[in-house]
Amino acid sequence: MAEAERIIGMPDTPEAAGAEPEQDQQARSRGKRRVAVLFTVAAFAYALDLISKMIVVARLEHHEPIEIIGDWLKLEAIRNAGAAFGFGEAFTVIFTVIAAAVIVVIARLARKLYSLPWAIALGLLLGGALGNLTDRLFRSPGVFEGAVVDFIAPKHFAVFNLADSAIVCGGILIVLLSFKGLDPDGTVHKG
């Protein structure tokens, strides 16, 4: 949590951090492009998730699973009121609040974003969080209690969706960036 507060608490603009005026203008322009990348990646991930879930609900729900690679990979529509692996079905409202909080934190981080890899990672997280939040808000049984549509079913693994995939990929990228010492503002720090 201290790391997030350190990142969120940084100056809003490079000039506030003591940058030269010409560098300041270039940094602001670069920052705007990174924010555009973040929101483009988020919109793409969100759209893919939303479209895939619409197709699954229309064509696969209440039907037999479709085998993609024998019984190793199937498409099977399920509704998941819980978190990953179906745990915590009684806490759907809490998962909704967590997803909303993630979206707010990413929106705050966007103001200070000067790193392309971080823009991609946060875009994946944002798109995935929006995808699952949309299900929790608008799917039955009701607002804040909606069940997420999952449909990718590997053998001996949990059934998941494209929003989950985006969240996991974004999370892995963030861990890798953190290990490399790259901050969202583009600075590199050592250990």
Active centre residues (catalytic): 150, 164
| Number of other CB atoms surrounding residue 49 within 10 Å | 24
Question: How many Å apart are CA 38 and CA 170, to the nearest integer?
Answer: 11
Instruction: Please return the burial class of 53, using the count of CB atoms within 10 Å of its CB with bins 0-12, 13-18 and 19+.
Output: buried
DSSP alpha helix (H) spans, the chain: 2-8, 21-59, 92-110, 116-138, 162-180
Question: How many Å apart are CA 108 and CA 35, to the nearest integer?
Answer: 11
- Containing 78, the helix (H) or strand (E) segment is strand 73-80
User: What would the two tokens of residue 116 be?
Assistant: 């392309």
Q: Up-side HSE of residue 120: CA atoms within 13 Å toward CB? A: 7
One-letter identity of residue 129 = A
Distance of CA 55 to the CA centre of its chain: 21
